[in-house]
Structure 1
Amino acid sequence: MTYKVLIADDESIARDILQKQLQKYPQVEIVATCKNSKEAFTAIEKHQPDLVFLDIQMPELNGIELAKSLDTEKLPLIIFVTAYDNYALQAFEANAIDYLLKPFDKERFDRTFQKALKQLQLANKEDLTNVFDKYSKFFQQFAQPNYPEIVTVKDGGRIQLIKTADLIYIEAEGNYICLQTEKSKHLLYETLSSFEQKLNPKIFVRIHRSTIVNINFIKEIQSHFNGDYSVLLKNTKVLRMSRNYKENLIKN
């Protein structure tokens, strides 16, 4: 029996390696190789493959979001291709989802493919729907919030585009917040708490009721006798950190 296989990965080297590994299996027909999720979704609808090698980290729509959008009536078996660390891999294992960790060797690929092959040989559509049910916990665990990479600020008749990664710190100023970058300062009509919800908490940390800082720009932290702290930035700017927010920075 021949099984239709689709490869979706935005890295050409990864696509080539997967193709090369699959070519030694005569029961495999590679029906499509796709470089993004949009191409993959269209190809899956068209070819209805039995097995998909699906990269997780792709632009626009990632592999997880793509898998969630598939029709469960036409669901292929999915092997996620990932560069996630060991903690992430434990979640794959716990939910009985197979994966290939980049970079993978021939032995790892063969074990993964043989496991998938056995499932395909035994599976019917009902079984594959059950497999998809097992994916659901994985989707919930791994779906990452989409934090904006760009902040827009109106400046008179212009709209300024500011990279979130360039924000050094954000301070509350009355009904506004001040966005400070290395080269400029911008006022935005928004509360600090509201703006904080848009920021990645692993990078942006509240150190005071009126201040959020990008930890990538912190040089050192200095303690004071009263229990408060000073946060010295790489540009020599000093910010006050309240003792009530110390844990926010330490846990990062």
Structure 2
Amino acid sequence: MTDAALRVLVVDDEAIARRRAVDLLRDAGPATVVGECRDGREAVDAIRELEPDVVLLDVAMPEMDGFEVIREVGAHRMPPVVFVTAFDQHAVAAFELHAVDYLVKPYDAPRLREALRRVRARAASGRAEALAERLSSLLGAPGLREPSMARERLLVRVGEEMRVLRADEILWVEADGHYLRIQTAQERLLSRGGLAAMQAQLDPEWFVRIHRSTIVNFQHVRHLRPWFGGDYHVRMADGTDLKLSRTYRESVIQRFPTAGT
């Protein structure tokens, strides 16, 4: 990476946030925006095709969040990443621990300029392998799932109302575009939000990802049933069958002490 303008890929599911990032990059240069992505899947394809110098990557996106983008591309094949997050200081501590650049919304041009300066400094020092190792470590960082972040009661917007839900009443949550379908023991709710942000508030001992778009409460899983192509179906307490994809199959099955593959 030379003194030429950094080639930046902007990834955020909100159009306003993408536009703001592009505008700020004009003042944070030298930088050139080579692409804008609305979701994680677009980001994976763009990273592979465009090979940007740096990715400005939103953490909380529906269906495929920022961490899943890294998993899909591979930590050792990822360009330098500057995470963009609305997480509180508990989560930020995890980014600092693993020495990954991050921006907390709302950020300004000077803070973005400093993040890009750090990217250049790391590239100049030839520590790409070390950065890849930090990204790998970050994917499993316990600091992103601090117990203090897990909540027994959650506040979710349903229409014009703010509803209070007990976490243990939630059976499963499914991403649907920019919305979440939240199934409780009594009803199904539609709430605007991202799956990653919701998962960050739930106890990882009980809430587990079974698909890129689905989280289930393990307390309400009744059985697993083999399906086609190596997939499984997860039968929930309300009788709903949800797809367990091959990506998450082993980690879910291992939660059953006596289960085999």
Match of 1:42 among 41, 45, 56: 45
Which residue is equivalent to 1:199? Answer: 217
Distance across 1 between alignment mates of 2:114 and 2:79: 19
Which residue is equivalent to 1:148? Answer: 172
The 5 A counterparts of 1:85-96 are 85-96=88-99
**Max Rg structure:** 1
* TM-score, scaled relative to structure 1: 0.56
SS of 1:49's equivalent? coil
* Cα distance change of structure 1 residues 165 and 21 upon mapping to structure 2, 3 Å threshold: same
Which residue is equivalent to 1:234? Answer: none
* Cα distance change of structure 1 residues 73 and 63 upon mapping to structure 2, 3 Å threshold: closer
* Cα distance change of structure 1 residues 16 and 181 upon mapping to structure 2, 3 Å threshold: closer
Cα deviation for residue 196 of structure 1 reads 8.7
Distance across 2 between alignment mates of 1:196 and 1:67: 22
- Deviations for 1:159-214, whole angstroms, at most 9, x for unmatched residues? xxxx64432xxxxxxxxxxxx449xxxxxxxxxxxx9984178xx9xxxxxxx9xx
Is residue 78 from structure 1 mapped to residue 81 from structure 2 by the alignment? yes
SS of 1:84's equivalent? coil
> 2:104 is aligned with what amino acid?
L
Structure 1: gaps (5+ residues): 151-162, 168-179, 183-194, 205-211, 213-252
Is residue 60 from structure 1 mapped to residue 63 from structure 2 by the alignment? yes
Structure 2: gaps (5+ residues): 146-170, 175-180, 189-205, 209-215, 221-236, 238-261
Which residue is equivalent to 1:139? Answer: 139
SS of 2:43's equivalent? helix
Which residue is equivalent to 1:15? Answer: 18
The 5 A counterparts of 1:93-242 are 93-120=96-123, 122-124=124-126, 127-141=127-141, 148-149=172-173, 164-167=182-185, 180-181=186-187, 198-199=216-217
- Deviations for 1:22-48, whole angstroms, at most 9, x for unmatched residues? 113553221101111111111111110
State whether residues 75 and 135 of structure 2, in contact with CA within 8 Å, keep that contact through their aligned partners in structure 1.
Answer: no
> 1:135 is aligned with what amino acid?
L
State whether residues 85 and 105 of structure 2, in contact with CA within 8 Å, keep that contact through their aligned partners in structure 1.
Answer: yes
Cα deviation for residue 123 of structure 1 reads 4.3
> Which 4+ runs in 1 deviate beyond 6 A?
none
Cα deviation for residue 52 of structure 1 reads 0.3
* Cα distance change of structure 1 residues 164 and 11 upon mapping to structure 2, 3 Å threshold: closer
State whether residues 72 and 129 of structure 1, in contact with CA within 8 Å, keep that contact through their aligned partners in structure 2.
Answer: no
State whether residues 75 and 129 of structure 1, in contact with CA within 8 Å, keep that contact through their aligned partners in structure 2.
Answer: no
Greater relative contact order (Cα < 8 A, sep 6+):
2
* Cα distance change of structure 1 residues 90 and 73 upon mapping to structure 2, 3 Å threshold: closer
* TM-score, scaled relative to structure 2: 0.54
RMSD between aligned residues: 2.9
Cα deviation for residue 3 of structure 1 reads 2.2
Moved more, 66-75 or 26-35: 66-75
Distance across 2 between alignment mates of 1:105 and 1:85: 18
